[in-house]
Amino acid sequence: MEIKNKNLEELEQICSDIRARIIDVVSRKGGHFSSTLGAVELTVAMHKVFDVKKDPFIYDVSHQCYPHKLINGRWDEFETIRQFGGLSGFTKPKESEADYFVAGHSSTSISLAVGAAKSIKLRKEDRIPVVMIGDGSMTAGMVYEGLNELGDLKLPVVIILNDNEMSIAKPIGAISKYLSKILAGKFYQNFRDRVDRNIVQKLPDGATYIAKKMEESMKLITPGILFEEMGVDYIGPIDGHNLEEVIETLELAKGMGKPVIVHAHTVKGKGYSIAEGQHEHWHGVGPFNVDDGKFVKKSSVKSATAVFADGLLDLAKKYENVVGVTAAMPSGTGIDKLMSEFPDRFWDVAIAEQHAVTSMAAMAKEGFKPFITIYSTFLQRGFDQIIHDVCLMDLPVVFAIDRAGIVGNDGETHQGAFDISYLRFIPNMILCAPRDNETLSYALEFGYEAKSPCAIRYPRGAFVDIDYKASKFVLGCAELLKEGTSKKLLIGYGAGVSRAIETEKLHKEDIAVLDLRFVKPLDKEKLKELSKKYNDWYVFSDSQFEGGVASAILEFLNKDKICVNVRSFEYKDDFINHGDTKLIEEDLGLLPSQLVNKIN
């Protein structure tokens, strides 16, 4: 889509067309919604002022990148957004050269921009990185690590702070708003440079001190003091939906030749009145009716997340030392229910997984029982803290790992494939997984009683109903659900148990089924006993093969010199693309009907 040569009226029409396209497609297909609607003018202005063919366009998280995709040759293909085999919901260089980097986790953009700016300087190129980052991403420490170096290096980078909640700093009264407008103008920027160059630098020490203090006092009543003190110039706040103002400000920032943050206020859901404002449920949506905003009716089956939240709430009512934390996902993890019931014992620490883990480690040392509830994909961000601050001290922290396994449309940056692999080798860690709603409740009870770090994984959506009565969890004990007359044994872990049962029902032979329950520690005695009767073992788990469940079993068998045949039906050594979960499983050959053929 041509942007460069368009006048303001034509650009505003493009903004209107982009919004209409997003509303139409997302209402039918689902996807990220309010955040991307709020970024339309900012995106169009970026493409007007900068050159996407040479300047790195770096989107933080990139769930606000739909306008960018529409501008860059994907208007018709946008029908396939987040669908299997279609466009990703995030930036993806394999789709287009206009997408600089894969982005699905927050707060990486400024570090990427610093690396790009260093490369540009070394090559002596005429390019400038431009970042779009949401105010929510500014809650993560990595942003300030990047700003810290950027302010020291003074490399040209333009950072657009898309602030739709005023969560960075609220302007203080009319004077602040007036001064912010002055700060955004060419007059002030040129005036400040002239004062610094021609007056301040030439004044005696005492006068220089006074001049600097006057400038610092002026900054104290503006929102930009934090960034200015880190060595990054600040412009704003500006109206992020006033296209003319955004373009003029970006032109100014582009010409400054140094790092600068442009603070733009926007409204989430802009252009679709029902979604406008701070409505969390409009961030990422399923299909809905455009006329009244009503969502297509969802399944009434209770999700694993809801079962977890209810179970943890029961524990919190029973035991006063139960506390919990999540990292910017209170409703997604079900912790919002506990935050409402026990506001002094359950917290959302924003996008700060490292802080979440370490702060709960201290609470465990103080005698509390912390439950850290984070998606599998995001827990990766707290990996060092799990080792250094929890497991090294052998502190009884419970990691409730939501969205374990395939998560569907969010795709490769969000699939919960790796948690078993990256937790299993850590000393003192216990790994267990429930197979259904009942055993999830038992797993939470076990977690509360555990004297060491314990990780409990469960899937997105609902468990498959399993017609087997469950017993309570005992450390390192598996549960044999069914004996078999053949030499085959199906070993399920977590949600993999239901797949093993479905596969067994489709198979002509009478096959034994084991619920492993614990992958660390393994039930070695049970496995030794079963090896005497069953010679062919098949492993079912929603996890990566490398370092996963089958690997744990094979390590044990090799160490104890037990000879059985083991075949894994875990994920292959690759990143799993986005799309409907069943279509992904079919593509991976993991549907029960496909597994029966593989066993045969």
Residues tagged active-site: 268, 353, 381
User: How many CB atoms neighbour CB 278 within 10 A?
Assistant: 12
Counting Cα atoms < 13 Å in the Cβ hemisphere of 40 gives 26
Q: Give the Cβ contact number of residue 260 at 10 Å.
A: 25
Range list of β-strands (E), 140-195? 158-163
Helix (H) or strand (E) holding 373: strand 369-375
**11: β partners:** none
CB 368 within 8 A of CB 316: no
Select from 64, 39, 28 the least CA-distant residue to 270: 39
State both tokens at 308: 């977890």
Taking CA atoms, 584 is separated from 131, 255, 578, in Å, by 32, 47, 8
| Residue 559, CA distances (Å) to 127, 539, 554, 563 in order | 57, 19, 8, 11
**Distance, CA of 389 to CA of 167 (rounded, Å):** 29
Q: Is the peptide bond before 521 cis (omega within 30 degrees of 0)?
A: yes
Q: Tell me which amino acid residue 379 is.
A: L
Q: Tell me how far apart the alpha carbons of residues 81 and 548 are, in angstroms, rounded to a whole number.
A: 31
Query: Reading across the β-sheet that carries 430-432, which strands appear in turn?
Result: 346-348, 322-326, 369-375, 398-402, 454-457, 430-432, 518-520
Quote the tokens at residue 39. 């970024």
Q: What SS3 state is found at 422? A: helix
* 284-285 and 31-32 beta bridge pairing: antiparallel
Residue type, 278: Q
Q: What is the CA radius of gyration of the chain?
A: 27
